[in-house]
Amino acid sequence: MARTPHDTGLGNAGETQQRGGEVLTSNHGIPFSDNQNSLRVGDRGPTLLEDFLLREKIFHFDHERIPERIVHARGSAAHGVFTCTDPIPDLTRAALFAEKGKETPVFVRFSTVAGGAGSVDTPRDVRGFAVKFYTEEGNWDLVGNNIPVFFIQDAIKFPDLVHSVKMEADRAYPQAATAHDTFWDFVSLMPETLHTVIWAMSDRAIPRSYRMMQGFGVHTFKLVNAAGEERFVKFHWRPVLGLQSLVWDESAKLQGADNDYHRRDLYEAIAAGDFPQWELGVQVFDQALADGLPYDVLDATKIIPEEVVPLRVIGRLTLNRNPDNFFAETEQAAFLPSNIVPGVDFTDDPLLQGRLFSYLDTQKSRLGTTNFHQIPVNAPKCPFANMMRDGMMQTHIPKGRANYEPNSLDMAGEDPGPRASVTGFITAPQAVQGEKLRQRAESFGDHYSQPRLFWRSQTANEQAHIASAFVFELSKVTLPHVRIRLVSHLRNIEEELAQRVATGLGIDLPEAAPPFRPPVDLPPSDALSIQKNWQETLKGRKVGLLFAEGSDKAAIDGLIAAIEAEGGTVFTIAPKVGPLQLKGGTMQADGQLAGSPSVLFDAVGMILMPEQAEKLARDSAAIGFVMDAFAHLKAIGHCKGSQVILDRAGIAPDEGVGPYDGLPAMAKRRYWAREATLRDLA
C-alpha cells in the first residue's frame, strides 16, 4: 500500500511503494509488505532474529562506509573514572553500583552525528554521549546522546533516517547539516520524528561545550537485583558545570573561527586539570507506573518528565586523562549497546532491539576483524575467557588442545564454577505471547503531545530560537510541498509555533495533518529548559581580554586574578602577540586580534589607553570583536579609554556592558533580553 503524506506507518498492509510507484524489495527481489515495522512477538514484544528483511537492511547499512563511522564520525574522547556516590544494591546487582566510593574506569566519546570525520564541531546537530565502563564483571557500554529521545521508534527505519540526513545522494552536499530537502522530506512523512526534531531546533543542538551538555541513555532499560526483582530505568548524565548553549549566529561563526572548538575545549580543560564532571542520575519506576502513563515507555521518541519520576543521583563521572593517541583510542573505540553487565537488562524497545544487532555488526567493517575487542581501548580490564579462536588480527595465543566446551582435556569449560553461578549474566525472565507480525502498538501512535510538552516548557526566548530554527532550516528546502507538509504537522504541536513558522516562510497556514492519535496536553517541565536551569558561574568559562601597547599591566593582572578566583580562565589578545611594552612592565598576548574573535569566548574585556583605543576603533577586527560579543548576548567589560570602540560599534550600555572591574560578575550570564533589540526572531 502506498504511503500517504500523513501516514504514521502503524500497521501498514500490502506492498510498500516508494515515490515513483516502484515496489520496495530486498536485495534479492523479495517485495516488502511493510517497511516501517520490525517483526516482533505481539505489538509490544521482542523483535525476532527471524526478521530477514531487518537483518539485510541493517547489514547493508552497517557496511556502507569504511573505515569511517557512518554516523558519529567526528568525535572526541577521554579517559576517566566513575564513582558510585549512592549505592543501589536493592535495585541492581551490578557491581559498579554496589558500594559507596567504588570506582570504575571509563572511556567516554562525544561526537556529532551527521557530519564526516573532517567536518566541524559546532553545527546544529544531536551529540553522541557514549560511556564505556570497564567493570569487574565485563564492559558495559551506555551509548546515548545529549537529547533524551530519538527520531524513530523502530530500528528498521534507521538507514532511511541517516540516508535522509546525510549529504544528498546525487550531489554530496550539504555536509553536517539538516537544512536540505531530503531530511525535511523524511521528517514531514514520519511524524514520529517530530519530538527529536523540536529538540534539535532548540539550543540543545548547539551546546557551548561537551562539558556543558547533558547525556541520556535514551531507551528504557531494566535494573535487576539479586532476588531477580525488576524495575524500569532511564539513565541521565548532568554536567556539574551546568547547561550552556551557543546562539545560532555564534555557532555558525565558530565553524570558521575554530572548527575544532569542542575538541580543543575538552582537551585543554583536562590538560589544565579542570576535569569535566557529570552526575549520573536514574529514573526508576515499576510496571504499574508505566501502565498508567499516557505514552509507552518502550517508545524511544518519548521521555518521562522528572516531575513524574524524579531523578536520583547515584554517581559521578570524572574525565581526567586525554588519550595518548587519537587513532588508537578515540577512533578505534567500539561501543556496543549489547555490552551489558549482570544487574542491567534490555527491554523490548524496538529501536534498542535493532541496535543490539547493528553495533556489533558494524565494527567488522570499521575495524576489519571480529577481534576488535582485543584492541586495548576496547579490551575489558577484568579476566575473560571463552572458546572463540583465530580470526584476522588475532593477538592472543590460546593454549591447550581443546577449543570447544564441554571438554575434559584441559579442565576448561567442564564446570562453570562458583563465579559464573553467582555473577553470570542471566536474562530477566519474561512471558512472551502474540502473533508474529509487522505492526506497531497503538500506544506508539501519539507523535505530537511530547513535542508540545517540550515547546511549552521553554522560556519565550527559547521558543523564539526554536521557531527561528524551523524557519531557517525550512527556508533551505527547495520543495514547497515539503515546507507545507511540515508546517501542517506543527499545527498539531502548537498553533502559535505553526503560525510563526508559516509567517517566517511567507506561506499560508496549511490544514493540520490528521493525527493517528489526537495529542493531549501534558504539564510543562522546567527541567527541559536550558535558560530556566542556567548556572551562574565562571567555572569552565573563558574570557577574552583585549590589550595593546601602553595598557595598564596592574589593571590587567588584577582582572585576570579576579576571574581566575571565580574559576574562570583568561585568554589575552593584542594587535600583535608581542612581547608588548605596557605601563608597569611587558606582556605577551596569548593570541592576535584578527585570529582571536570573540566567538571563542564566553565574555570579553578591554583595557586600553585612549590613543591605542582610537587606533583600534578604525580596525574592523576590533569593531567585530565587540559587535559579535554584544550580538551573542555576552558580557563586555571595558575601561574608559576603550569607550570609543563601543561607540564606533554602536553599542550602548546595558546590564552586560560596563566597567571592566565588574566583568567577573557580569560574565556569569548571557543577556537574553538584549536579543529582542538585535535581530528579528520568528
Residue numbers annotated as active site: 72, 145
586's grid cell: 611587558
Contact 601, 544 (CB under 8 A): yes
Q: Choose among 24, 37, 33: nearest CA to 439.
A: 37
The backbone torsions φ and ψ at residue 271, rounded to the nearest 5 degrees and listed phi first, read -60, -30
Contact 344, 94 (CB under 8 A): yes
CA–CA distance, 590 with 586 (Å, rounded to integer): 13
Decide: residue 290, CB within 10 A, 0-12 exposed, 13-18 middle, 19+ buried.
Answer: middle
The backbone torsions φ and ψ at residue 602, rounded to the nearest 5 degrees and listed phi first, read -85, -20
CA–CA distance, 355 with 383 (Å, rounded to integer): 26
**Which DSSP letter does residue 157 get?**
G
CA–CA distance, 389 with 253 (Å, rounded to integer): 52
Q: Choose among 44, 41, 519: nearest CA to 298.
A: 44
Q: How far is CA 592 from the centre of its chain?
A: 33
The backbone torsions φ and ψ at residue 264, rounded to the nearest 5 degrees and listed phi first, read -65, -40
Q: Which position has the grid cell 510563526?
A: 500
The backbone torsions φ and ψ at residue 138, rounded to the nearest 5 degrees and listed phi first, read 110, 175
29's grid cell: 527481489
| Residue 133, beta-bridge partner list | 106, 140
**Which DSSP letter does residue 595 get?**
G
**Which DSSP letter does residue 306 get?**
T
Q: Where are the alpha helices (DSSP H) in 494-552?
A: 495-505
State the SS3 of 427-456.
Answer: CCCCCCCCCEEECCCHHHCCCCHHHHHHHH
**Which DSSP letter does residue 23 get?**
B
Contact 16, 32 (CB under 8 A): yes
The DSSP H or E segment spanning 239 is strand 230-239
Up-side HSE of residue 316: CA atoms within 13 Å toward CB?
10
606's grid cell: 578591554
316's grid cell: 559521578
CA–CA distance, 372 with 394 (Å, rounded to integer): 9
Q: How far is CA 113 from the centre of its chain?
A: 8
The alpha carbon torsion through 310, 316, 321, 325 (nearest 10 deg) reads -40
Contact 161, 186 (CB under 8 A): yes
Contact 136, 95 (CB under 8 A): yes
CA–CA distance, 74 with 326 (Å, rounded to integer): 12
